[in-house]
Amino acid sequence: MKKFLSLGICALLLMLALSACGSGNNNPQPAADTPAAPANGAGNAGANEPAASDEPVTISFMHFKSDVTDGVAKIVEQFESENPNIKVDVQPVKYDDYYTLLKTKMAGGDIIDVFTLNSGAQTKLFADGGYLEDLTGKDFLSNFDDSVLKAQATDGKNYIMPVNAGPIAVYYNKKIFSDLGIEIPRTYDALMAAAQKIKDSGKTPFALGWKDLWTLNMWIGRDLPSNTVLVGNIPDFFDKIETGAAKFADNPAIKTTLAHAMQLYQYGNKDQLGVDYNGSVDLFAKGEAAMLYSGTWPLADIQKKNPDLYNSGMGVFPYPFSNDESLNKLEFNPDASLAVNSKSEHKEAALKFLAFMASKEGGDAWVKNINSLSYVKGSSTDIAPAINDLKPYFDNGETYDSQGYMARTTIDWLTPLGQDMQNLFFGKETEDQVIKNIDDWIAKNHK
C-alpha cells in the first residue's frame, strides 16, 4: 500500500484497535435539545466559514448509500433538529445507477447541492468539469487527519470531504464452520477447500447478490488490482490502461480473476444473477449461506434480522486473494465522501451540512446509524462484535487499500468487464473473448 494511504488511516486504525479491547455500546447520543459540542470547532462558523442565516432554505442531498437509507435519514434528521432553518431533500440512488444519474443531472443543469463521491477517478472527473466547490482550508477539515486529506486530494486541492471507511472482508457463520471443522482460510486455495467442504455438506458456501452489478464489481475491483500489483508486481498497470499503453491480455492477473470468479459462481447460491444485494444479505442472515463478502454495510440489517448471529454467531476474516499468505492483508477502503456543487445557490447551508458531518457528533451519528467507521477524529469505533476479529490486523498494521492502485484511472473499465463476466457465467463468452472485449473497449476509450 502506498505510504501516504498507510499514514492516512493510521490514526483511525489505532482508534479501532483501542476500542476493540472494550465491549458494550460506548456510543451514547446526545438529546435533541442538547447537541454535543463539535470537536475542534467543527460545525461553528470560523474565519472562512459561512455566517449563520435565519432564512429558511432547502438543500438537496443525493447519495449512493441506498443500502442504508434509513440510517442516512436519521443522520439528516439529527442535523435538521439542530438547524431548524435548513431542510434537506434526501435523494438516495442505487450505486449501479448513481453516477449515470448524477452526470445526467449535472449536464442538464439540475443543481444538486450536496452529493456523495468516491475519491480518485470520479472526483477528478467532476472537478475537471467545474462542478465541485473547493473545500481546501475550510475549518471543518481540521477534524480529519492531514494524511487522509492528502490521500483524497485532486490536483492538490480538497474538493471532497471524507466521511467513512471500512474493511472489505468475508463474514462467516461460526456454527457452520465449527460443525464442519473448518479453520479460518489464510490462502485462496484454503478458501476454496472450505467452500467445497461446505457444499459437500449440503449447504451454500457463498451468498452472492450479483444481480446488482456493483456487488460483482466490488469484488472484481479488489481481486484484480490486488493480484495485478501484489502478485503480478505490475504497479503501473492501471496508469498505463489510462493512456492505452497496456492491455489486459498482457496481464496474467486477469485470467486469475476470471478463474476466481467462476469458482465463486459455482460455490454461490442458486440464481446468483437473479439475487440482488439485499437478497444475499438475507441468505446470510438466515444462516442459509456460510459466507458473505462485503463491507460493513450489511451489519445493521443482519442485526435487525438475526440478533443472535450478529451478537455472537458470526465472525470475519480478510479475503485471501492469493496463495501467498503474507500478501493477504486486510482490505481497508474509503467509502463515501461529500462534495458541494460549485453552482449551488445555497452554499452556506450546504457547507453547514458538511460541517455537521465533520463534527464528532456527526461522525458518531454515522458510526451508530450506518455501522461504518468515520474518518472524523475522536469519533466512535463501536461497530459490531464481529469486527473485533480484525483487531490483530489493525494492531500489526496488516492492512492495504487496493483502490489506491487505481486512483488515477478515470476510465470505467469495471462496468464493461463485469457485464462481460456475466456472459462468461452463462457460457455465452469464453475467457479469451472477455479479455479481447475489454481490451477493445479500452482501445476506444483510453485518454
What was the pLDDT predicted at 320? 98
Provide the pLDDT confidence category of residue 414 given band limits of 50, 70 and 90.
very high
Q: What is the pLDDT of residue 396?
A: 85
Is the separation of the CB atoms in 113 and 341 below 8 Å?
A: yes
Set of cell numbers at residue 262: 467462476
pLDDT for 207 beyond 80: yes
The answer, yes or no, to whether residue 121 has pLDDT greater than 90, is: no
CA dihedral angle for residue 99, residue 102, residue 108, residue 110, rounded to 10 degrees? 180
pLDDT bin (cut points 50, 70, 90) of residue 151 is: confident
- pLDDT at 108 (0 to 100): 92
Reduce the DSSP state of residue 161 to 3 states and report it.
strand
Question: Using 50, 70 and 90 to split pLDDT, how confident is the model at 48?
Answer: low
Can you tell me the mean pLDDT for 233-255?
Answer: 94
Question: Strand (E) positions, 83-141?
Answer: 86-92, 114-117
Question: pTM (2 decimals)?
Answer: 0.74
- CA 180, 184, 188, 189 dihedral sign is negative
SS3 assignment, position 372: coil
pLDDT at site 53 = 54
Residues 214/384, Cβ–Cβ less than 8 Å = no
Cβ neighbours for 34, distance < 8 A, ≥ 6 positions apart? none
105-109, 207-211, 408-412: which range is least confident on average? 408-412
What is the pLDDT at residue 372? 86
Residue 38 has what pLDDT? 33
Burial of 73 (0-12, 13-18, 19+ CB in 10 A): middle
> Binning pLDDT at 50, 70 and 90, where does residue 198 land?
very high
Measured CA to CA, the distance from residue 309 to residue 315 in angstroms comes to 9
Is 60 exceeded by the pLDDT of residue 193?
Answer: yes
Q: What is the pLDDT of residue 237?
A: 96
What is the residue type of 327? L
Positive or negative torsion for Cα 342, 346, 352, 358: negative
Residues 6+ apart with CB under 8 A from 55: 85
The confidence band for 382, taking pLDDT boundaries of 50, 70 and 90, is confident
Q: What are the chain's domains?
A: 27-163+336-379 (3.40.190.10), 167-332+400-445 (3.40.190.10)
Residue 59: which region, alpha, beta or left (left: phi > 0; alpha: psi -120 to 50)?
beta
